[in-house]
């Protein structure tokens, strides 16, 4: 007998996956029925549909398979519009896209680096992934664990993280960001006001799967920015919460704490992404003369072109004033020649390239 379940989304991914949890946090907030099908990439039906391996994928209730976390959330907004995660205000919406892009393309490097460069994190993370991955890979779990560890460790040079520089990634980039985030959400609840936005779910994925989860990272966050733990728990338990309104950046001054968050994106990420997407690679400069050169990818070039297209569509004196106050206007206004187009969110999200940081090759 085959059990008949009510219609629901199936998320093919991992409990400790950055982008899986970005999606499941959104689904919980919206009250959309879903279940997890643990997967580390052996999804034959998705590959037949054109997917090239970056988890998660999502099977919609009608059987269609989609991928790419940002595109999935924006597509689901067309199906489940309330409560919205993108403000109607174009300027405020763009600020959310800036922080979401920063999370996806920048903080992911810290997450993967800290997981696989600290032995305590690697031991915990490899077992977590192997336990769920063994659903797809037959045989002893030790082999799955070794496979996962080797694949993820192999991708670290392409991310720019190493034993020699992981301390700088944490002290000069991750912790300043988390402290700024803690100050902002203490005052306003979430990135764009008193309700979660696209940016919050991007940050939630990294926090709940890595920074508030992996043992070494959790100890660091508990000490340096404990409010980030409370912020993560609020997004973990949306049914227990009451939410409010978006920030009104017309009627009120833009909060200094939001300006500080935007400024953090300009500390290392935006200078690097400008150089990398124009020249093929860019250099990150940490204190003490430490440098790391990181190549761009096709995935990053596409994401950058779309973000610049969003800036072109939202551009206004009011938006430019906010970006200028944060010191990051030039990273958008001076590069509109790279703008491409904004994808139609109604279309099924199935990008040809869905691996920003391909593992193990």
pLDDT at 283: 98
pLDDT one-digit tens code per residue, 65-105: 999 999 999 999 999 999 999 999 999 999 999 999 999 99
Q: How confident is the model at residue 6 (pLDDT cuts 50, 70, 90)?
A: confident
pLDDT of residue 5: 73
- With a pLDDT cut of 70, the percent of the chain lying above it is 98
Task: Please state, in angstroms and rounded to a whole number, the distance separating the CA atoms of residues 358 and 97.
Answer: 23
Asked if pLDDT for residue 358 goes beyond 80, the answer is no
**Cβ distance 235 to 201 under 8 Å?**
yes
Q: For residue 361, what pLDDT band results from cuts at 50, 70 and 90?
A: very low
Give the tens place of pLDDT for each residue, 310-346.
Answer: 999 999 999 999 999 999 999 999 999 999 999 999 9
CA distance 122 to 104: 21
Domain ranges of the chain: 90-338
């Amino acid at each position: 007998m085959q059990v008949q379940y009510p219609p629901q989304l199936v998320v093919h991914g991992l409990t400790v996956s950055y982008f899986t949890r970005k999606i499941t946090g959104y689904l919980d907030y919206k009250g959309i029925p879903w279940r997890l099908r643990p997967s580390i990439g052996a999804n034959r039906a998705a590959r037949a549909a054109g997917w090239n391996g970056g988890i998660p994928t999502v099977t919609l209730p009608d059987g269609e398979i989609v991928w790419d976390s940002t595109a999935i959330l924006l597509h689901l907004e067309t199906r489940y519009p309330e409560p919205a995660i993108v403000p109607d205000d174009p300027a405020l919406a763009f600020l959310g896209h800036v922080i979401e892009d920063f999370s996806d393309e920048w903080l992911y490097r810290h997450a993967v680096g800290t997981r696989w460069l600290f032995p305590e994190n690697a031991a915990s993370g490899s077992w977590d992934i192997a336990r769920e991955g063994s659903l797809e890979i037959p045989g002893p779990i030790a082999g799955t664990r070794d496979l996962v560890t080797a694949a993820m460790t192999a991708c670290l040079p392409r991310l720019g993280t190493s034993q020699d520089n992981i301390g700088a990634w944490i002290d000069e980039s991750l912790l300043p960001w988390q402290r700024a985030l803690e100050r902002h959400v203490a005052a306003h609840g979430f990135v764009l006001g008193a309700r979660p936005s696209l940016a919050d779910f991007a940050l939630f994925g990294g926090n709940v799967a890595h920074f508030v989860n992996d043992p070494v990272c959790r100890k660091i966050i508990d000490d340096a920015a404990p409010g980030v733990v409370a912020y993560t728990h609020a997004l973990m338990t949306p049914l227990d919460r009451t939410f409010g309104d978006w920030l009104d950046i017309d009627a009120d001054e833009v909060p200094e704490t939001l300006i500080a968050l935007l400024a953090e994106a300009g500390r290392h990420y935006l200078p690097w992404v400008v150089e990398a997407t124009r020249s093929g690679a860019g250099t990150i400069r940490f204190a003490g003369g430490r440098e790391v050169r990181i190549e761009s990818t096709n995935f990053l070039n596409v994401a950058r072109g779309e973000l610049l297209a969003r800036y072109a569509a939202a551009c206004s004196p009011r938006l430019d004033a906010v970006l200028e106050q944060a010191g990051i206007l030039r990273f958008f206004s001076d590069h509109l020649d790279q703008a491409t187009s904004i994808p139609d969110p109604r279309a099924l999200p199935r990008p040809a390239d869905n691996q920003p940081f391909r593992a193990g090759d």
